[in-house]
Amino acid sequence: MRLTRYFLPVSKDVPADAAIVSHQLMLRTGMVRQNGAGIYTWLPLGFRVLQKIEQIVREEMNRAGAIELLMPTIQQAELWQESGRYDDYGKEMLRITDRHEREMLFGPTNEELITDVFRSYVKSYKALPLNLYHTQWKFRDEIRPRFGVMRGREFLMKDAYSFDLTEEGARASYNQMFCAYLNAFDRMGLTAIPMQADTGPIGGDLSHEFIILADTGESAVFCDKAMLDLPAPGLDLDFDGDVSGEVAKRTDFYAATEEKHDEAEFGKIPTDRQVSARGIEVGHIFFFGTKYSKAMNATVQTADGETVPVQMGSYGIGVSRLVGGIIEACHDENGIVWPQSVAPFEVGLISMRPKDETVAKVADDAYEALQQAGLDVLYDDTEERPGSKFNRMDLIGLPWQIVIGPRGIENGVVELKNRKSGEKTELPLAEAIEKVKAG
């Protein structure tokens, strides 16, 4: 993408109403624009990141055997009346009346809708296990939307729903999602810690929140330091096999959110390993058994011809919250420092002298070569001063910068800068491309 043809409304001012650094940086880099409290337009740069995160989540859901579909944002009230949550959900639910005076709502989550899909088509144990998911906008009329996209009212969530014949089977499905989540967050460059959590209005008795540690996090969390060093299960994990060992490895350590915190248990960890910190919840998984299937009559026939309610779990990832969460974890005094996997562009190409014919030609050729190599490139071909170009590239945080100037051209090299380490090297373009591709 040529910057002269792109839409990147970067601003120098630090927005006064943004309380935390990720929100400030998202506004300054023109990633989002607020429309109303907790409601945002995703501008091109922000939208690219949102899509990259969504795609990583999609790939890891698919790898774990979940199947994608798409449910609507606006739902009829009836299903919620059936489950009993129409009244329970309270003021966070945005209720709408259509022209025929029908009660509708903007979905805050989708347990009811998916249970209805399931019961309409699945009648036999033979179709199980089944895990269906979508990534869709949700609306919750949060009492205090704040911190930008981290606590929005409209937000993008991936939600998956598992269906099993037995409780044992449902726990196996839960474990698969547990591992898939760790892999997905790991691919985004995040250390997300699974912590025992309250089930809240979703209901059920087994639940983990996935937390990234950050001073600006809304939750108080407690865990064993050893958990921070545990590698993710890895993309070669066999999801058709038994993954409970990977889960046990982590649930053996103490890790709990404030609601589930047990001071006595925490005290048993060696003092130098006791982590008491703030955290951002980026994912939440629940096993709730037959809570919805009983209320909504979602049953299947067993091999013996018996009719039983299906065992369910639900699994959410805050896709839009993650954009802010990643920035909280990945920035420095000059701006954002994107992990390459979610960066809006992998490399920023800077032409030092776009008015100089030779420089322009070499930079244009480099732009072509980078694209040929399959890289996402933002090409700063503007005529601004080099200083402001460098500052802007640092601010938007692309992992690599390639600078084309007259001196390098004479020597047959470009300057490659790594945004995270700040390290600069001069090397031929072809070698720079290899380095960027290697990540």
Contacts of 175 (CB under 8 A, 6+ apart): 243, 244, 246, 247
3-state secondary structure of 302: coil
Helices (H), 305-356: 319-329
Q: Which residue is nearest to ligand ATP (CB)?
A: 318
151 or 389: CB nearest ligand ATP: 151
Minimum CB distance to ligand ATP, residue 219 (Å)? 7
283 or 405: CB nearest ligand ATP: 283
Minimum CB distance to ligand ATP, residue 346 (Å)? 26
Tokens of 133: 């998911």
Minimum CB distance to ligand ATP, residue 38 (Å)? 7
Minimum CB distance to ligand ATP, residue 281 (Å)? 4
Minimum CB distance to ligand ATP, residue 250 (Å)? 17
38 or 408: CB nearest ligand ATP: 38
The Cβ of residue 330 has, within 10 Å, a number of other Cβ atoms equal to 21
Give the Cα separation of 8 and 378 in Å (integer): 11
151 or 261: CB nearest ligand ATP: 151
Q: Residue 226 class from Cβ within 10 Å (0-12 exposed, 13-18 middle, 19+ buried)?
A: middle
Place of tokens 């910190």: 277
232 or 370: CB nearest ligand ATP: 232
Minimum CB distance to ligand ATP, residue 145 (Å)? 7
Minimum CB distance to ligand ATP, residue 345 (Å)? 25
233 or 318: CB nearest ligand ATP: 318
**DSSP-derived secondary structure for 155-200:** EEEEEEEEEESSHHHHHHHHHHHHHHHHHHHHHTT---EEEE---G
108 or 339: CB nearest ligand ATP: 108
Given the rule CB under 6 A, which residues bind ligand ATP? 109, 140, 142, 151-152, 155, 157, 200, 281-284, 316, 318, 320-321
